[in-house]
Chains A and B, each alone.
Chain A
Amino acid sequence: GQNIDQPTEMTATEGAIVQINCTYQTSGFNGLFWYQQHAGEAPTFLSYNVLDGLEEKGRFSSFLSRSKGYSYLLLKELQMKDSASYLCAVRDLDYKLSFGAGTTVTVRA
């Protein structure tokens, strides 16, 4: 199975940068995903990492270190609409996802 940890809450100011860490212990690793979820809505896909290194997508970047069981999601130039929950999910060899509890990010003006 998978054990996935991420902080419960983070607060940052509009225009700032926030880094959300995710650590995992896995019995079979086949990729790591980050999803964004606004309250009461469906999660939407943000990023995918399967090899070590940094993947950049506009204001969002995601990093993976497989040897350390560690990933982070970096949100730059924060906007009010970025206030949401960010979910870290690890995929196993059967293509099933295991999710962390999510990190609620609050962006203040």
Chain B
Amino acid sequence: DGGITQSPKYLFRKEGQNVTLSCEQNLNHDAMYWYRQDPGQGLRLIYYSQIVNDFQKGDIAEGYSVSREKKESFPLTVTSAQKNPTAFYLCASSSQTSGSSSYEQYFGPGTRLTVT
């Protein structure tokens, strides 16, 4: 089955600790994205990567870091510098060579992070 996996589904951390959220896709997509979703707000882009070994900051990158060493994987680290890290984190991927002009993003199931 092709898709995007994120683990774990729920994650609890103490304030001051860094935590890494995993995102893996076997769709052979070039582009991958990390979003954060808070109640009553739309998805906000944290980081994105259009190709291996390259990534760009999104609208709210402060306090986060990413790497893209493999096409299939795009882990997100929430650092202790992120002031309000409790949120629902969604990873997505898209193809830019599918032959379809839509290139819609496919989302993983999300990780709900709670920091206390």
Contact = CB atoms under 8 A, between A and B. Distances in A.
Given A41-B110, A42-B90, A42-B110, A96 B45 contact: yes
A97 B90 contact: no
A44 B40 contact: no
Interface in B9-56: 31, 33, 35, 40-45, 48, 50
Contacts of B110: 40-42
Interface of B: 31, 33, 35, 40-45, 48, 50, 58-59, 88, 90, 94, 96, 101-110, 112
Interface of A: 1, 4, 8, 31, 33, 40-45, 48, 50, 87, 89, 95-102
Shortest 10 CB-CB contacts between residues of A and residues of B: A99-B42, A42-B107, A48-B102, A99-B43, A45-B104, A101-B42, A43-B107, A42-B109, A100-B42, A101-B41
